[in-house]
Amino acid sequence: MAYPLQLGFQDATSPVMEELIHFHDHTLMIIFLISSLVLYIILLMLTTKLVHTNMMNVQEMEMIWTILPAAILILIALPSLHTLYMMDEINNPLLTVKTMGHQWFWSYEYTDYEDLAFDSYMITANDLKFGELRLLEVDNRMVLPTDLPVRMLVSSEDVLHSWAVPSLGLKTDAIPGRLNQVTLMSTRPGLFYGQCSEICGANHSFMPIVLELVPLKHFESWSTSLA
């Protein structure tokens, strides 16, 4: 969860989010180097006679400004493709959860368990308990085990929604009539918050997501008590 005056991303909770943060830092450094080089050249142009006909028409300069951008694109594309394939890869998920978006709440169905399904509504400000977060708490949290690959199937019953949890690096569109899937795996237990990231109507900002990630034995106890 974000905290006041925070700079940067939330702490990574999954391998995917760790890769996304590394890629962000990698790309940001390239942008910083490009900006510094351009600023240096502009300063030279303003303070010296760098812009001269016999300096701007040489073949060496043309080779540099052709090869350098190509090399920069390769440095950005390679880690980007690696991260994209990592996000799309689904290897033998041990649990499947179907997420449906509604106006304006989420419903979850654990397809590997019989009759384990529930709706998740936001808790209003008047019903919040001490320490609970306004506009982020729900009456039924989605409980998942840690250190296990989980497949999320995301769709919608009415309009476009978007199921997003920033600390896990997840953002999947919920589209009526279409089933999107994404892999989720957490490396540590805890409570993780998200919200619908698609403008889906008047109460768009009132359908939060709360994931409670627990060790496997606690998840089994929870699922047994509800099934």
Q: 171-205, pLDDT tens digit by residue? A: 999 999 999 998 888 888 999 999 999 998 898 98
Nearest 5 degrees, angle CA 150-CA 155-CA 160? 135
What pLDDT does 226 receive? 73
Going by their DSSP bridges, the two strands 142-145 and 105-110 should be labelled as unpaired
- 68 is written with which tokens? 């350098």
Side-chain half-sphere CA neighbours of 5 within 13 A: 0
Going by their DSSP bridges, the two strands 208-214 and 142-145 should be labelled as parallel
Q: Is the dihedral of CA 100, 105, 111, 112 positive or negative?
A: positive
Q: Is the dihedral of CA 171, 221, 146, 141 positive or negative?
A: positive
Residue spans of the domains in the chain: they are: 15-88, 95-226
Distance between CA atoms of residues 221 and 18, nearest Å: 30
Q: Are 134 and 126 within 8 A, CB to CB? A: no
Residue with tokens 């040489």: 58
Into which CATH architecture does domain 95-226 fall? Sandwich (2.60)
Which residues of the chain fall short of a pLDDT of 50? Answer: none
The pTM is what? 0.80
What pLDDT does 121 receive? 95
What pLDDT does 227 receive? 62
- 63 is written with which tokens? 């080779």
Q: What does R_g of the chain's alpha carbons equal in angstroms?
A: 24
What pLDDT does 36 receive? 94
